[in-house]
Amino acid sequence: MGQKIIGVVAVIIGIMAMSVAHGQQPDLDAQVSRFLNNARVSWNYLNVPYEDGKILHDLVLKGNFKHILEVGTSTGHSTIWLAWAAAKTGGRVTTIEIDKDRYEAALDNFKKAGVVQYIDARLGDAHDLVPALKGPFDFIFCDADKDWYIQYFRDLEGKISLNGCFTAHNVLGWSSDGKKFVEYVKRDSKFRTYIERGSGEGISVSCRITK
């Protein structure tokens, strides 16, 4: 009986060690989940809907992505979903926002959600910052100026790891530029593109299948 108990304890310790290794922190999960649920209907400034944030979170977990870039922080809703996933994969999110007030609001939200340590938040014009980024990245989420989506993709295409994904928001919604982007990226044979409908606004997911 004693050996069985020791064996069970060893298994539990092993599971706990694996959880820590993968960033699965129950306290953090509870804090982030509570924050997102409480703020679910209060996001503005064109933050992604809750359903789309969850899609991003799940995509990062499914791909075990670690090197994450977000173009267009707004006040941080999607960033928090991405950072929550990064906490579980051992990753980190670099996010860019041009508007100072939104950037500062996002920093406050990151603190409230408990994910500050998983985020490198940068204030500046993504038109200038994105081309200068070194990469590589295995997951990119673009939710900035829609008419620049194609250029963002061009600037980042060579910095996306094999099996890494470039995602973009509002490709089914109000923006014709989002639809033009999807048409563009579908013609790139190095990527396989599909659409996650989510809230209905649409997230395109373009994953690199060859170098």
pLDDT tens-digit readout, 14-50: 434 444 444 457 899 999 999 999 999 899 888 999 9
Rounded to an integer, what distance in angstroms lies between the CA atom of residue 9 and that of residue 6? 5
Beta strand residue intervals within 43-202, DSSP E? 67-71, 92-97, 119-123, 137-142, 160-169, 191-196
CA 153 to chain CA centroid, nearest Å:
16
What is the domain partition of the chain in residue ranges? 25-208
Architecture field, domain 25-208: 3-Layer(aba) Sandwich (3.40)
Residue 15, judged by CB atoms within 10 A of its CB (0-12, 13-18, 19+), counts as exposed
pTM: 0.87
Q: What is the pLDDT of residues 123-167, one digit of tens each?
A: 999 999 999 999 999 999 999 999 999 999 999 999 999 999 999
CA 75 vs CA 19, 68, 78, 114, 137: distances in Å = 30, 18, 9, 15, 22
Half-sphere CA count of 144, side-chain side, radius 13 A: 25
